[in-house]
Amino acid sequence: MKKAALLVFVLWVCSCSFAANPFAIRHQGNDLWQKKFPPRYDSVSQRFLLRNEQAKFSRKFLRGSLEVMVYDMFSTALLFALPYEISKWSKPDIGKVNSQYRKTFTQRPAYDPDLWYVNYIGHPYTGACYYNSVRSQGATFWQAILFTMGYSVVWEYVAEGGLEQPSIQDLVVTPVVGSILGELFHHFTLVMSRNGFKWYEKLFVSLFNPMFAINNGFKYARPIPLP
């Protein structure tokens, strides 16, 4: 357990360092980036805007929140459809739901006995989707992390709070590992976009960074000249 926590911490630090690196993809079109990774399209005097990149964060937040709510509704329906052995969700009883909500908000989070791939694959993937719902609109690294943390808490306490006690692992794994994966997926997506998306790159983005595809399609909104 300690080794796993240490690994997560190291990945987290590396991700933060990557986000602060002047050579990381920032959509800024600066000279350092152009020299290190020259564009493979014809005009090097242009870059492309992401949807809402120049808008205030409040607009990115609203659009990202709508996408997250739709994603969570789909996830909820899927978990109810899956066998109890996988989801650990049973048909809700109103009396038990009310009782569980009181327990959720008055007692500490509990250790989650869910299957390993639910906790350590499903939740990080969900965190990455939360993250990129705003990152793919041009939100900063830290804005996207805070957004992911917020909606991870909402999922544990509101969506799942009436059925089971919030999970200690999920409250950490979803935002931390999810943000790391989300930034990596965001980076790879932007690298692929510089030369136009090939069919297998579109498949990768659709599977691992669907929020980018929803927000931007498979091309940026419009070209603008570099300063």
In the predicted model, is pLDDT for residue 64 greater than 60?
Answer: yes
Q: Whole-angstrom Cα distance, residue 31 to residue 28? A: 9
DSSP 76-109: HHHHHHS-HHHH------HHHHHHHHHHHHHS--
Average pLDDT of the residues of the chain: 77
- pLDDT attached to residue 37: 42
| Spatial CA neighbour of 127 closest among 176, 168, 87, 164 | 176
* 68-119 pLDDT tens trace: 999 999 888 887 777 776 666 666 655 677 888 889 899 999 888 778 888 8
pLDDT at 141: 94
What is the pLDDT averaged over residues 145-151?
A: 96
Q: What is the pLDDT of residue 200?
A: 92
Question: Lowest mean pLDDT: which of 9-18, 23-32, 139-148?
Answer: 23-32
Is-contact 5 177, C-beta < 8 A? no
Of 104, 114, 124, 121, nearest to 83 (Cα)?
114
pTM, two decimals, is 0.74
The token duo for 121 is: 């694959």
State how far the alpha carbon of 51 is from the alpha carbons of 4, 48, 138, in Å.
Answer: 37, 10, 7
E strands along the chain, which residues? Answer: 46-48, 223-225
Q: Backbone phi, then psi, for 48, in 5-degree steps? A: -130, 145
Kindly report, residue by residue over 1-27, the tens digit of the pLDDT.
444 444 444 444 444 444 433 333 333
